[in-house]
Structure 1
Amino acid sequence: MTVDRHDAAACAWRAEAIRRIEADYNRSADTHLIRLDLPRYPGITLYLKDESSHPTGSLKHRLARSLFLYALCNGWIGRDTCIIEASSGSTAVSEAYFARMLGLRFIAVVPSSTAAPKLDAIRFQGGEIHTADDPRTVYDVAQRLANETGGHYLDQFTYAERATDWRGNNNIAESIFAQLAAEESPIPRWIVCGAGTGGTSATIGRFIRYQRHETRLCVADPVHSIFHRHYANPAEVALPEGCASRIEGIGRPRVEPSFVPAVIDRMIAVEDAASIGAMRALSKRLGRRVGGSTGTNLVAVSRLVEEMASCGETGSIVTILCDGGDRYGCTYYDDAWLEAGEVDWRPHEAAMDALFAG
């Protein structure tokens, strides 16, 4: 018996959808690699991979593009498919952008406590909001909505590590090494990133090994996240009830399917106050605001710089500038909000100022 699933109209729509996404990528120049010399540490150079310059303003633009292409090529998305995601932040903003590009309905399932500016950013890109009173149920609610609408749940926390081609094809790791090619230290000692889904760390870690680089991968993780605990003790898979991080976009209360600890060389746990202090210090250094997860990365970078200097090592370190800080004006950049939450960021800001001091 011969079974032919070819539908000419569906194939034509899919081809056009992929063309639109690829054309959008071609219109966007690669994100910048910002060099920061560290005068107190001669021979050690810091580079920031500035993902805030994507059209939707964050690293998650790469993930959203990959998830859409993965789902399209798997035949999971068609011309009338409703797209669903469990996300209250940058991923939902980026996915709404691509859904609108393809003329598809997009629904973000978010906790009911989600801040209004984040919801506004999703709506600005054409997305709809569906709230869940219990944040722990967002995954189940997203799947239920997909079933009810006949739609597709993109499920970033499952597919992030496999949707991106980690061997190359314009992924973030390939971009970093290409942009470093003419620098004094083209093969960095360390690349530092965070983990929300785990997709970025999986892509970078696999690429480093595939290319046989000596670079090591460090994942900076909020102290109130399960990832670094699971890395140290695989038996730990969920945080205690009521334990939560303030740093948006990274850290999770449960080990996500797309988190791949075996490709990570080291994890560093970072206090929320330290992340916010580092974020503020870097914002002064750059003359523009960055987000909290960038601060988390920077705290890990500072520790690695100190260790390299104490051992007499030189070379480069690359980390991710994950997103801009404009969405955090009423939180991380609001002194009253921080003081109400008893977040003492000032000593950490001063300590990070010293990293950049001449």
Structure 2
Amino acid sequence: MRIAPTGTDVRFIENKSKDSDSGTECPQVEEGRNFANKLWNASRFRQMQGGPEGLSQLPHIENLSIYDIDILSKLDALRDDISASYSAYKFQEIANKLYDFFWSEFCDWYLESIKQYFREDADSERRDTVLIVVDIVFARFLQQLHPYMPHITEELWEKLGFAVDGALLMNAHLPEDPVMKGFDSKIVERAKERTNAIHEATTRARHLKAQYNLAANRNVKFFLQPSVEWAIDELETLKILSGAGEISVSESYEPSPGTPAFLTPIGKMYMPLEGLVDIEAEKKRINKEIDKAEKDLKQIRGKLSNPKFTERAPAEVVQENLDRKDGLRKKVEQLNEMLQNLS
């Protein structure tokens, strides 16, 4: 295995392929390297924000946002899930759960949602609160990740100020009580539901932007016809997570013909295309994609209608083609809908 491109911290990865010593690529090693980089970058981001070192007392639940409560709740759930996996000796499952929690829940969702509080004009009290939450999540996560990545977790434990009087992470005991112990369960569940609603609205907004090749465009404007009052308080976070330039609330908004729209748990959202895309060029692009998708769909349908293929091919190959057929059919429907919106 080539150590130089990946770093020595991941050379002992347990599930590397058997032929990895031959010099061929090993996806698991690359994935481990990327995860180590993610850990390091997230910790560096925390260090750059300053604030108190070490762990502080968690503020009262009334001072926590729905996103704070959600990530802390997921941190408690992670511990329970990992404990169950340890009891069943499912060590790879533990690694996957740790990976998913940190990369997706903590970095992609939570850290992105709180970056607004590190601007110069942000509320200092809110900023201090999110730093406390970040530290609690980081500390407990490093403790649970330590058996899998002992070297980098030990170093980050010290860099983040958790090594009180030089105490090593390897000797630190994970607190027995859940972080959310004693918190009102109704408030916790409400926060989780609202966070999920914002995440779902974000995902749909991102998807619509990507459909029109606007994924990287930060000038996109959305109009929201809210179905719940509380969503108005979360527009700034929704804007940041969606990569939008502006999200305006208007119950009386009347979209021009062809304006793309989508339903979310917080209401109906519209994305006006004026000034964002060349309508005629976009029509040509979509028509080209439709032609290709229909051609591929016709080819797969022909293959699946051939008894020689369906009877002789392995079941998983047949299923793979069935799934691809369904995917292409949905893609054609989606593209036709986009084309209709532009007409």
TM-score of the superposed pair, with normalisation by structure 2: 0.23
Richer in strand (by share): 1
Higher normalized contact order (CA 8 Å, seq sep 6+, divided by chain length): 1
Going by fraction, where is helix more abundant, 1 or 2?
A: 2
Q: Which has the larger radius of gyration?
A: 2
